């Protein structure tokens, strides 16, 4: 699982518009200490679940509108000090992230091929923001990483102190992502498994709220249930989220699996994973802040699968080694600058990639942070690899 791993606010998720929506809510998710609210006795009976889109908006710090706002349960939540504090915290730093996302959308519209099929995102964590910012037109997003799946927060059944704890933990989980444009994996192991926050689903929902997406359904998902290759002793936990972009009516799907994709696990625990992955034909692949796992010999199976079947690969230097992309026959275009890996990953320097950047001459800086070299403005690099026609 990547050791290190992006958020913001526009209210129209289009190439030109997601930038604004990404910021307002999650923009400065600086973890605030939960306010000392008076304890409100929990309701004697469980409240009816809120609509999924409403829950996503409330998690994102977005005020529901229209009929959704008229729901008495919603009115009670937004009037409470927990959500008011959460909304105020979500607004901070909005301008910085709005600028970042505007750069991402303008850049992808000029440089990336359109993706209407499947986007695969190995080692994703709950990073819908980068995937949707760079590939807003995909029909299906397939994410897989080690982080637990989690559940839909029952906001209507929590008292105000319970909601305050949930919102605080959500901001804490998103803090690094907002500042760095990646999640720090060891931190996520702790921050996504608290008493209030139990996995990726609440974070994915908050990002959908940020993106103004309509959440149609969220269901458990096991791609191997009842199939050859399933391993009853090692079930795979996953979730399938159906959602709609209200701006253009595009119905889209996100599948998230909590799974170990190292060679040993794929051979002995999840032998059905790669055959299942092959059902998504000619995918586009996004790899970023991936702890250089695909450089390692014990991730050979996944690496070979991605190299043999991908139509397009967009990655930083922590993805598939540059020499392997070239050997597999991809046409490679470089963007931004190559910098040596950060100290934690200093052993993964790629002299051939560095030479390729040198041969390419002076390239325009990448106008947004991408990968681990985020500290220096314009210091990130991005690799676009397109499979050559036979």
Q: How confident is the model at residue 346 (pLDDT cuts 50, 70, 90)?
A: confident
- pLDDT over threshold 50, residue 26: no
Q: Which residue has the tokens 């390239």?
A: 363
The DSSP code sequence of 280-302 is S-S-EEEE-S-TTGGGSGGGHHH
CB atoms within 10 A of CB 94: 19
Lowest-pLDDT choice from 238-242, 320-324, 372-376: 372-376
- Rounded to an integer, the average pLDDT of 282-304 is 96
**By three-state DSSP, how is residue 143 classified?**
strand
**Separation of alpha carbons 9 and 129, rounded Å:** 10
Instruction: Tell me how far apart the alpha carbons of residues 61 and 70 are, in angstroms, rounded to a whole number.
Output: 17
The average pLDDT across 283-290 equals 95
Residue 198 φ then ψ, to 5°: -120, 15
Instruction: Quote the CA–CA distance of 137 and 140 in Å, as a whole number.
Output: 9
Q: Which residue has the higher pLDDT, 378 or 24?
A: 378
Cβ-based neighbours of 355, under 8 Å, separated by 6 or more: none
CA-based nearest residue to 134, from 389, 370, 388, 339: 370
* Residue 19: per-residue pLDDT: 43
Q: At residue 18, does pLDDT exceed 50?
A: no
Least confident of 174-188, 207-221, 222-236, 370-384: 174-188
Whole-number Å distance between alpha carbons of 203 and 119: 19
State the pLDDT at residue 70: 78
Could you tell me the strand order of the sheet in which 250-258 lies?
214-220, 237-245, 250-258, 140-145, 118-122, 284-287, 312-315, 381-387, 330-336
Task: Of 13-17, 169-173, 256-260, give the lowest mean pLDDT range.
Answer: 13-17
As a whole number of Å, the end-to-end CA separation of the chain is 34
Taking residues 95-104, report their average pLDDT: 74
CB atoms within 10 A of CB 388: 9
pLDDT in the model for residue 39: 35
Residues 6+ apart with CB under 8 A from 326: 332
Within-domain flag for 2: no
* 3 state DSSP class of 315: strand
Rounded to two decimals, the pTM is: 0.85
Count of domains observed in the chain? 1
**Close Cβ partners of 363 (under 8 Å, ≥ 6 residues apart):** 334, 335, 336, 337, 357
CB 30 within 8 A of CB 91: no
C-beta neighbour count of 32 within 10 angstroms = 17
- Assigned domain for 230 exists: yes
Burial class (CB in 10 A: 0-12, 13-18, 19+), 346: exposed
Contact 140, 277 (CB under 8 A): no
- Model pLDDT, residue 224: 85
pLDDT, residue 177, reads 61
Q: Look at strands 330-336 and 250-258 and give their pairing.
A: unpaired
- The predicted structure's pLDDT at residue 169: 86
Question: For residue 174, what pLDDT is reported?
Answer: 78
Give residues with Cβ within 8 angstroms of 150, minimum separation 6: 192, 197, 198, 199, 200, 201, 202, 203
Whether 210 maps to a domain, the answer reads yes
User: Hey, which of 26-40, 81-95, 100-114, 254-268 has the most confident mean pLDDT?
Assistant: 254-268
Between residues 95 and 263, which one has the greater pLDDT?
Answer: 263
State what percent of residues in the chain have pLDDT above 90.
57
Instruction: Specify the pLDDT at position 47.
Output: 65
Residues 85, 331: Cα–Cα separation, whole Å = 49
pLDDT tier at 66, thresholds 50, 70, 90: confident
Task: Decide: 212 and 10 in contact? Cβ < 8 Å.
Answer: yes
Residue 346 lies in a domain: yes
Query: Does residue 320 have a pLDDT over 70?
Result: yes
What does pLDDT average to over the chain? 83
Q: Taking 80 as the threshold, does the pLDDT of residue 358 lie above it?
A: yes
Whether residue 10 lies inside any domain: the answer is no
| Among 106, 111, 114, residue whose Cα is nearest residue 311 | 114
pLDDT given at position 255? 99
Of 188-192, 208-212, 216-220, the one with minimum mean pLDDT is 188-192
Mean pLDDT of 156-182: 79
In a domain, 6, yes or no: no
b/e per residue, 111-149, with b = 16+ CB within 10 A?
ebeebeebbbbbbbbbbbbbbbbbbbbbebbbbbbebbb
State the pLDDT confidence band at 384, using cuts at 50, 70 and 90. very high
DSSP letters for 213-245: -EEEEEEE--TTTTSTT--TTSPPEEEEEEEEE
Is 3 a member of any domain? no
Q: Is there a domain that residue 13 lies in?
A: no
Domain that includes residue 382, residue range:
18-387
> Beta-carbon neighbour count of residue 17 at 10 Å?
19
């Amino acid at each position: 699982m990547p050791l290190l791993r992006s958020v913001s606010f526009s209210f129209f998720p289009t190439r030109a518009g997601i930038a604004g929506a990404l910021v307002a809510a999650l923009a400065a998710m600086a973890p605030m200490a939960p306010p000392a609210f008076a304890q409100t006795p929990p309701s004697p009976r469980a409240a009816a679940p809120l609509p999924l889109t409403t829950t996503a908006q409330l998690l994102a710090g977005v005020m529901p509108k229209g009929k959704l706002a008229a729901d008495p349960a919603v009115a009670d939540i937004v009037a409470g000090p927990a959500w008011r504090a959460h909304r105020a915290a979500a607004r901070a730093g909005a301008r910085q992230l709005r600028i970042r996302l505007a750069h991402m959308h303008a850049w992808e519209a000029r440089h990336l091929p359109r993706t209407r099929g499947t986007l695969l995102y190995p080692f994703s964590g709950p990073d819908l923001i980068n995937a949707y910012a760079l590939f807003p037109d995909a029909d299906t997003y397939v994410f897989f990483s080690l982080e637990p799946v989690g559940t839909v927060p029952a906001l209507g059944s929590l008292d105000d102190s319970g909601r305050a704890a949930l919102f605080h933990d959500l901001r804490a989980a998103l803090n690094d992502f907002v500042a760095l444009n990646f999640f720090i994996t060891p931190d996520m192991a702790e921050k996504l498994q608290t008493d209030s926050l139990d996995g990726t689903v609440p974070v994915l929902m908050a990002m959908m709220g940020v993106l103004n997406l309509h959440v149609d359904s969220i269901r458990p998902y096991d791609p191997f249930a009842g199939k050859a290759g399933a391993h009853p002793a090692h079930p795979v936990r996953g979730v399938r989220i159906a959602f709609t972009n209200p701006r253009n009516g595009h119905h889209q799907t996100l599948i998230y699996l909590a799974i170990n994709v190292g060679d040993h696990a794929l051979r002995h625990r999840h032998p059905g994973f790669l055959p299942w992955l092959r059902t998504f034909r000619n995918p586009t692949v996004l790899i970023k802040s991936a702890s250089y796992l695909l450089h390692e010999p014990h991730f050979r199976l996944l690496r070979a699968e991605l190299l043999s079947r991908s139509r397009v690969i967009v990655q930083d230097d922590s993805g598939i080694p540059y020499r392997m992309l070239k050997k597999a026959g991809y046409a490679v275009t470089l963007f931004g600058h190559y910098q040596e890996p950060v100290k934690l990953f200093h052993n993964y320097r790629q002299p051939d990639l560095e030479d390729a950047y040198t041969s390419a001459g002076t390239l325009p800086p990448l106008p947004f942070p991408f990968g681990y070299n985020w500290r220096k403005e314009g210091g990130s690099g991005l690799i676009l690899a397109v499979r050559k026609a036979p």
